[in-house]
Chain A
Amino acid sequence: MNTILDADTLLAVDVGTVNTRASLFDVVDGRYRLIATGRAPSTAGPPLFDVSESVRMSLERIQSITGRPLMDESDSLILPVTTEGAGVDVFVSTTSAGPKVRTVLVGLMPGVSLQSIRRLASSAFLEIVGEIGLTDRRRDAERIDLIIAARPDLILVAGGTDGGAVDSVLQMVETVGLAANLLPGGRQTRIVFSGNRHLGASVMEYFGERLSVTMTPNVRPSLRQEDLAPARMHLAEIIAEVRSSRVAGFGELETWSRGFLLPTADAFGRVIRYLSNIYGPDKGVLGIDLGASQTTVAAAFDGALRIMVNSDLGMGASLPGLLRHGDIADVIRWLPVEIPEYRVRDYICNKAIQPGTVPAETEELYIEYALAREVIRLALGIARSEWPAGKDSDTLMLLPPLEPIVVSGGVLARAPRPAHALLTILDALQPTGISTLVLDPHNLTPALGVAAGPLPVLPVQVLESGSYASLGTVVAPVGSARFGRQILRVKLERETGGEDMTGEIRMGQLVVLPLAQGEKARLTLRPERGIDVGFGGRGQAGALRVAGGVIGLIIDARGRPIFMPKDPDRRRELNQKWLWDIGAME
């Protein structure tokens, strides 16, 4: 994959489980801009099991919007742009559709290679069907039985630092090789070895020529160092191969994209890491992609990315995972009207079998967004266990300072009002201090992540172009105070003139101050003693320049964690009030 220097037009397609989205970028006034997007229901599943139909539907949408022909008479993408201005210069693609890749993880020590291989696996759309480690007390024969019973598509093997363990690694490799050779029906199981790289030749010898083996750089080159990026790249290729073998149409996308085809989560993570490099080391950057079959949580701290793809939590077929990871009562607490528990359970199960459906009635919308809150909250909790010390869930109950927080996904992007999306994110994430919440309404993030390969300048210019919707700047004071007590004084001075605003914020309030998208203002915050707004400690006052958003400037003084009354009636009233306060209810 090489960088392309002389290209104007880029077409990106993201094939999801429920939706397929195409985005056309072109140079306008010397800078890359989003020109048009097209969306179509995905055809990766029944009845077609062929992604190419929905890809062409989404391209036809763009054709009809822009009048620019993208496909020729044989329905093939026109590459590169013709002299008549048809087609595109570059095509890139991302995908999260297709069956999960059944994977067995093999490592040596639980806290070392097994942990790294688990992290590698959790960053991709895999279904872990077995795990083998040196300390799991299984005999070799039992390990063989485990692999055969699991019938994996992929076996990920790690172990040994570079120049480290030899015998134990080779013994494990021998066991895996025996099992893989015994898999019934010549099943094409791929093996990825990401362990002690000094053992390359021996490992290949043990696996033999019959097996499909990929060697990657060691995920754990030394005890203190973890390097997942190269293995992740190979993993993406293997996942793409497995998907292509199960669902038609991916081969064509590979041909068109000439290697620029990535898993959606990988491309999403690239953008989050890039933003982290821009915003600097003071705060982390958080990205949440709430999909139908998976939820991706990408967090980057000082340029180091931690990404977790949770394929057991999503708003479609994987929605019942919410009942395995969480409690139905945690969903019900977010409902502004009384809905019996059994109705919520039925809703979850029906949505899982009909993942593409949408809520037409208000009551169903409330259930949908209550579920979205809990899916995000649970996925974040699981992902935080892998965040660096000091920012993980073990050391701090509260989220670390984050700037910005980027969210995408069909449920959030197609919320009836942006305020619905905003309140869902606030409730689910409960950010602290000062953060900007950014919504990706066109699902551009994966497109920008993969476009960074051929056209590195494109994502930079599109991110600056206003194609994302800033929902607003959120100020979330942290500290304990009695409900209703004044905790913060606020002064907002607009740079463009207009009336300045001052006010007092009381504990429990959710306040929106109007500050339009693109508008800048100086915000002065004077917290009471014991209250922290992110200026270096409790009671510390300060001022900063803030940008407006679709909603405005939001002051979320509902407490961290948000105070929820035990009385159901009172709790529902409060949920209604918050919907009203934020502007999601008329």
Chain B
Amino acid sequence: MRNYYIPPVTHVIPLTTIRRERVLPVPGAVTVRVNEKVQASHVVAEAETVPRHFFLDVVRGLGVTQQNVGRYIVRREGDRVDAGEVIAGPVGIARRTIRAPANGRIITISRGRVLFEARGELLSLRAGFPGVVIATDGTRSVTIEATGALIQAVWGNGGQDYGVMRMVGEGPADRLKTDQLDVNLRGAVLVAGICDHPAPFHQATELSVRGVILGGLASDLIPVAQRLPYTVVVLEGFGERPINPPAFQLLSSNIGREVAIDGQQPRPYQVQRPEVIIPLPAARDVELPDEVIPLKPGVRVRIVRAPYQGEVGAVQSVLNQAAQYPSGIRAMSAKIELAGGNIVTVPVANLEVLQ
């Protein structure tokens, strides 16, 4: 019989191969080649954002009849034109013309109306972390590979940046406070336990930090975090959620190194998550992380809900029968040996594999 439990997997890995696909929202142009080395800030692809459209009414604009309008339109469908260039005309003594309202192209000409598409702004897609381009489709996607440490998060405010990592506070549960933030942290990526007040965020803005890595964020600060000019990633969740011990150890041991933080907001049915990448050289080939790890004895897990929320341990056994909990609910469960040696019973639904 199949293993019934395939929990979500969160990667906290000191050294692995990291492969990420960067994809433009609309087709454009890829600016890098396969095997090319890229830096985090390197633009790997560009595209025009959503263009604007205009209907240019040639019949009314030139004061001609619909039957005759064709002879006055001097451009064709598909033509690219610059702002101010004549599209139709001139007509009459006043030499009336219809000109392009912006740089763009003519989409269609129908019944005396020209559908004109003005070019949108250029959107640049960055590599996000230093690595090597291993694949591209030439128009929209670029796959970059590197080796390093990987710490996956649960939430991000949408930003993406790269900078030197600095620790703020002493431990994984320490609150981020304004008096901890001074000019020495300018331009850095900060690591802190919990943030439950907006003031440190604003102070960090003054210092032009590149990003903040948190264990827990008070949920009422989500709108504040979304407006910040720098990247925020949350590793554990909302509220009093300290950074899990393996992640904290990994971050602590790499303080002073440059890190890439990706704060993309997680969406259901999306593979990529917010994450922290610490680029590190590898003397040998290192494997890609496992994406599917069935729950079985020995597997390292993190408990994501009370009463042992945030604790990390190893699966001792997966129970055959549902267990009952103080809340009264019955749920399929596993026995977990926590880091301190205690063995606790936890619903398998409240576990995620920590690799």
**Which positions in A face B, CB cutoff 8 Å?**
17, 40-41, 43-49, 53, 56-57, 60-61, 64, 98-99, 139-141, 144-145, 148-149, 151, 178, 182, 184-185, 246-247, 293, 317, 342-343, 345-346, 348-350, 353-354, 356-365, 414-417, 420
Q: Is the CB of A45 within 8 A of B331?
A: no
B329-355 vs A, Cβ < 8 Å mask (1 yes, 0 no): 111000000000000001101101000
Q: Is the CB of A360 within 8 A of B305?
A: yes
B247-288 vs A, Cβ < 8 Å mask (1 yes, 0 no): 000000000000000000010110100000000000000000
- Given A141-B54, A178-B107, also A49-B239 (CB < 8 A): no
Query: What residues on A are CB-neighbors of B1 within 8 Å?
Result: 60, 64
Partner of A349 from B237, B307, B328, B350 at Cβ < 8 Å: B237
B183 within 8 A of A: no
In the bound complex, CA of A365 to CA of B103 (Å): 59
**Which positions in B face A, CB cutoff 8 Å?**
1-2, 4-6, 8-9, 25-27, 50-55, 107-108, 115, 117, 140, 154-155, 218-220, 222, 237-239, 266, 268-269, 271, 291-292, 304-307, 325-331, 346-347, 349-350, 352
- Given A40-B4, A359-B329, A365-B328, also A342-B239 (CB < 8 A): yes
In the bound complex, CA of A69 to CA of B195 (Å): 54
Q: Is the CB of B328 within 8 A of A416?
A: yes
In the bound complex, CA of A148 to CA of B49 (Å): 11
In the bound complex, CA of A56 to CA of B219 (Å): 38
Query: What residues on B are CB-neighbors of A350 within 8 Å?
Result: 237-239, 304-305
Q: Is the CB of A342 within 8 A of B4?
A: no
B152 to chain A, nearest CB (A): 11
Partner of B2 from A56, A247, A348 at Cβ < 8 Å: A56
Q: 4 closest pairs, A vs B, by CB?
A: A416-B328, A346-B239, A365-B327, A184-B26
In the bound complex, CA of A246 to CA of B271 (Å): 12
Q: Is the CB of B6 within 8 A of A41?
A: yes
Query: What residues on B are CB-neighbors of A185 within 8 Å?
Result: 26-27, 140
Query: What residues on A are CB-neighbors of B117 within 8 Å?
Result: 182
In the bound complex, CA of A148 to CA of B103 (Å): 19
Q: Which residue of B lies closest to A18 (CB)?
A: B349
Query: What residues on A are CB-neighbors of B55 within 8 Å?
Result: 139-141
Partner of B52 from A46, A99, A145, A360 at Cβ < 8 Å: A145
Query: What residues on A are CB-neighbors of B220 within 8 Å?
Result: 342, 345
Q: Is the CB of B268 within 8 A of A45?
A: yes
Q: B53, B220, B304 — which one has the most chain A CB atoms within 10 A of its CB?
A: B53
- Given A49-B271, A182-B107, A346-B239, also A360-B6 (CB < 8 A): no
In the bound complex, CA of A415 to CA of B326 (Å): 13
Identify 5 residue pairs between A and B in the complex whose beta-carbon atoms are under 8 Å apart, listed by A's number: A45-B268, A64-B1, A350-B239, A356-B349, A360-B307
Query: What residues on B are CB-neighbors of A247 within 8 Å?
Result: 269
In the bound complex, CA of A149 to CA of B51 (Å): 9
Q: Is the CB of B350 within 8 A of A361?
A: no
In the bound complex, CA of A204 to CA of B268 (Å): 35
In the bound complex, CA of A416 to CA of B323 (Å): 12
Q: Is the CB of A359 within 8 A of B305?
A: yes
Query: What residues on A are CB-neighbors of B326 within 8 Å?
Result: 360-362
Q: B6, B268, B346, B347 — which one has the most chain A CB atoms within 10 A of its CB?
A: B268
- Given A353-B154, A353-B237, also A361-B307 (CB < 8 A): yes
- Given A346-B218, A357-B305, A360-B347, also A145-B53 (CB < 8 A): yes
Query: What residues on B are CB-neighbors of A343 within 8 Å?
Result: 239
Partner of A41 from B5, B9, B346 at Cβ < 8 Å: B5
Query: What residues on B are CB-neighbors of A40 within 8 Å?
Result: 4
Query: What residues on B are CB-neighbors of A360 within 8 Å?
Result: 305-307, 325-327, 329, 331, 346-347, 350
Other A-B pairs beyond A360-B331, A360-B346, 16, CB < 8 Å: A64-B1, A141-B55, A144-B53, A145-B50, A246-B269, A342-B218, A342-B219, A343-B239, A348-B219, A349-B238, A358-B350, A360-B347, A364-B305, A364-B306, A416-B328, A416-B329
In the bound complex, CA of A343 to CA of B238 (Å): 9
Query: What residues on A are CB-neighbors of B349 within 8 Å?
Result: 41, 356-358
Query: What residues on B are CB-neighbors of A178 within 8 Å?
Result: 107-108, 115
Q: Which residue of A lies closest to B56 (CB)?
A: A141
Query: What residues on A are CB-neighbors of B50 within 8 Å?
Result: 145, 148-149
Query: What residues on A are CB-neighbors of B307 within 8 Å?
Result: 360-361
Q: Is the CB of A358 within 8 A of B329?
A: yes
Q: Is the CB of A47 within 8 A of B155?
A: no
Q: Is the CB of A53 within 8 A of B155?
A: no
Query: What residues on B are CB-neighbors of A417 within 8 Å?
Result: 328
In the bound complex, CA of A64 to CA of B305 (Å): 31
Q: Which residue of B lies closest to A369 (CB)?
A: B327
Q: B219, B304, B352 — which one has the most chain A CB atoms within 10 A of its CB?
A: B219
Q: Is the CB of A354 within 8 A of B292?
A: no
Query: What residues on A are CB-neighbors of B306 within 8 Å?
Result: 360-361, 363-364
In the bound complex, CA of A48 to CA of B108 (Å): 44
Q: Which residue of A lies closest to B27 (CB)?
A: A185
Q: Is the CB of B350 within 8 A of A47?
A: no
Partner of A346 from B154, B238, B271, B304 at Cβ < 8 Å: B238
B265 to chain A, nearest CB (A): 10
A434 to chain B, nearest CB (A): 29
Query: What residues on A are CB-neighbors of B155 within 8 Å?
Result: 353
In the bound complex, CA of A295 to CA of B325 (Å): 27
Query: What residues on B are CB-neighbors of A357 within 8 Å?
Result: 304-305, 347, 349-350
